Amino acid sequence: MKRWLLIVAAAGIAWLAGQVHAHKPSDSYLTLSVESETISGQWDIALRDLDFALGLDANQDGEITWGEVRARHADIAAYALSRLRLGPATAPCPVKVTQQLIDDHSDGAYSVLRFTATCAAAPKTLEVGYRLFFDLDPQHRGLIRLEYRGATRAGIFSVDQPEQKFTLTQLSRWEQFLDYGKEGVWHIWTGFDHILFLLSLLLPAVLVHSTVAGRGWQPAQSFRATFVDVVKVVTAFTLAHSLTLSLAALGVVSLPSRLVESAIALSVVLAALNNLRPLVYGRRWVIAFGFGLIHGFGFASVLSDLGLPQDALLIALVAFNLGVEIGQLAIVGIFLPIAYALRSSGFYRRVLFAYGSTAIAVIAFVWLTERALNVQWIGA
């Protein structure tokens, strides 16, 4: 009868052809991000697989609890890391686990290992050796995603292909410069708060505030005077935000981002309100400079999100800043001729200037309440 046990089992198996892959098979997900000689990584490994290898379910009740996983963190890290090699076999980069978390994928819970590896020098090609679970489950696959300088590459490790080599194309200095410059332009064009602040200060540039009470804003008489006014505002804004951007990027000063973002919103509100009830008009460059300092901190947080290359810090900083200025000048270049041409019309003064400034103030006030939410002294 024993002979038929096998045939019965196999009858079902064979007959299930095409249906056997009912579950997702075993995969792990490895993400590496290379930043000169430092590699930071995240490795998601299914708890199911770790249980088969290490026996996580300590009390054998068929349920893996967080406590059971936590108790084995050291074993999990040691098991996984001994099966991963970053760098050449002769001189692998030492890897240290920084954090172990849990994530839910479509097919169950995964242990998430976050780690950093420090290589002797910035690798030109990164060799990765992967042997996780291949001895226990040759159908296991390691899916790798490598991020380097904004580009992402993918690969699959299998028992037949446990080694992969990634060429880390070194961008030339000039390419790096262009990259960060583009980011700067892009940031000012997509950063509506900066644009609205600038517009609030530029809207009155083609007008003159009459000293005669009750006459309000009148069209400017000369393009020269208007141009000088614009140059003063833009230059002041540029100087100020370049200063704080540099200080923040170099780590000299740092401010909490909610404070910075709220202050930026406030600066837009005040600049727009100043058009409706002018407190400062002749010397708007002073506003531009004062608040420009705050906007610089905003730019700096974008730059730090992009990741500053330690080997080319100055290049990145200068390029990003130049990008911001170019983006800003483009806005001025489009705005100024149109505004100057329209300055005498009622449409400009009543609709664009008055309603425009009101709309900007309202939008910025909404930002302010959003960004400052829970901050008592601003009083949302």
Partner 1 sequence: MQFSFPLWFPTSVAILCAAVGATAAPHLPIDDAQVLERLPSRTTPQFRELKVLQAAAAQAPNDLSRAVALATAYVRASRVEGDPRFLGYAEATLAPWWKDPAAPNAVLVLRATIRQSSHRFDDAVSDLNLVLQRDPRNAQAILTRATVLTVQGRYEEARADCDRLGRVAPQIYGVICAAAIDSLTGRAGSAYDSLERALLTLPRIDGAARVWGETLLGEIAHRRGDPAAEAHFRAALAVGDRDLYLLGAYCDWLLDQARPGEVLALLQNETRVDPLLLRLALAQKALNRPEAGQSIDALAARFDASHARGDTVHQRENARFELALRGDPQSALRYATADWQVQREPADLRILAEAAAAAKDAAALAVVRTWLTETGFEYPAIAALAGDRRLAAK
For residue 142, the minimal CB distance to partner 1 (Å) is: 9
Q: Cβ closer to partner 1: 26 or 357?
A: 26
* Structure token pair of residue 249: 């990027």
Q: What are phi and psi of 42, to 5 degrees?
A: -135, 135
* Structure token pair of residue 295: 């906007």
346 sits in which H/E element: helix 346-346
- Residue 311, helix vs strand vs coil: helix
Q: Cβ closer to partner 1: 125 or 152?
A: 152
Q: How far apart are CA 287 and CA 274, in angstroms?
A: 10
Q: Cβ closer to partner 1: 160 or 305?
A: 160
Strands (DSSP E) along 246-376, which ranges?
Answer: none
For residue 156, the minimal CB distance to partner 1 (Å) is: 6
For residue 40, the minimal CB distance to partner 1 (Å) is: 14
Query: Tokens 């059971």 appear where?
Result: 68
Query: Tokens 């505030």 appear where?
Result: 209
List residues binding partner 1 (CB under 8 A): 3-4, 6-27, 29, 31, 42, 44, 47-49, 51-52, 57, 60-67, 69-70, 101-110, 112, 114, 135-141, 143, 145, 152-154, 156
Q: Cβ closer to partner 1: 114 or 182?
A: 114
Q: Cβ closer to partner 1: 100 or 200?
A: 100
For residue 115, the minimal CB distance to partner 1 (Å) is: 13
Residue type, 200: S
Task: Collect all residues with Cβ–Cβ distance below 8 Å to 160 and sequence separation of at least 6.
Answer: none
Q: How far is the first Cα of the chain from the last one, in angstroms, to the nearest whole number?
A: 80
**DSSP letter, residue 93:** P
Helices 284-306 & 192-202 angle (0-180, nearest 10): 170
Q: Cβ closer to partner 1: 64 or 270?
A: 64
For residue 274, the minimal CB distance to partner 1 (Å) is: 42
For residue 7, the minimal CB distance to partner 1 (Å) is: 5
For residue 158, the minimal CB distance to partner 1 (Å) is: 9
As a residue count, the chain comes to 380
The answer to whether the CB of 295 falls within 8 A of the CB of 226 is no
Q: Cβ closer to partner 1: 165 or 283?
A: 165
For residue 290, the minimal CB distance to partner 1 (Å) is: 39
For residue 31, the minimal CB distance to partner 1 (Å) is: 6
Q: Cβ closer to partner 1: 18 or 333?
A: 18
CA distances (Å), 148 to each of 41, 162, 182, 281, 308, in order?
Answer: 12, 21, 18, 48, 12
* String of DSSP letters for 221-276: S-HHHHHHHHHHHHHHHHHHHHHHHHHHHTTS----HHHHHHHHHHHHHHHHHHHH
Cα angle, residue 261 at apex, residues 248 and 230 outer, rounded to 5°: 80
**DSSP letter, residue 87:** S
Q: Cβ closer to partner 1: 103 or 370?
A: 103
